[in-house]
Amino acid sequence: MKQGVLLTVAYDGTDFCGWQSQPGLRTVQGELSRAAAAVLKVPQVQVRGVSRTDSGVHAECQRVALDGPDTMPVNAWVPALNPLLPNDIVVRKAEPVEAGFTPRHHAQWKRYRYLCWLHQDPNPLLRHVTWHVGQSMWPWSDGVRAPSMRIGAMEEAGRRLCGTHDFRSFCASDDGRDNTVRTLHAVVVTPHYRGMESMLAIEVTGTAFLKQMVRVIAGTLIAVGGGRMDLATVTQLRDRVLDRHRAGVTAPAKGLTLVHVEMDPLGPSAKRFDRS
Q: Which residues bind a second copy (CB under 8 A)?
A: 10-12, 58, 60, 82, 87-90, 92, 121-125, 127, 129, 194-196, 257
Q: Is 212 or 257 the residue whose CB approaches a second copy more closely?
A: 257
Percent of the chain as helix, strand, coil, to the nearest 5:
30, 30, 40
Annotated active-site positions, please? 54
Q: How far apart are CA 33 and CA 64, in angstroms?
A: 10
Residue 221: CB minimum distance to a second copy, A: 22
Q: How many residues does the chain have?
A: 276
Q: Nearest CA to 137 among 204, 225, 200?
A: 225
Q: Is 128 or 244 the residue whose CB approaches a second copy more closely?
A: 128
Alpha-helical (H) ranges within 93-251 are: 151-161, 213-225, 231-239
Torsion region of 176: left, alpha or beta (phi above 0 gives left; psi -120 to 50 gives alpha): left
Residue 7: CB minimum distance to a second copy, A: 12
Residue 115: CB minimum distance to a second copy, A: 11
Question: E-assigned strands of 27-171?
Answer: 48-49, 58-69, 89-97, 107-118, 131-133, 163-166
Q: Sign of torsion, CA 129 133 134 136?
A: positive
Residue 58: CB minimum distance to a second copy, A: 6
Q: Is 28 or 184 the residue whose CB approaches a second copy more closely?
A: 28
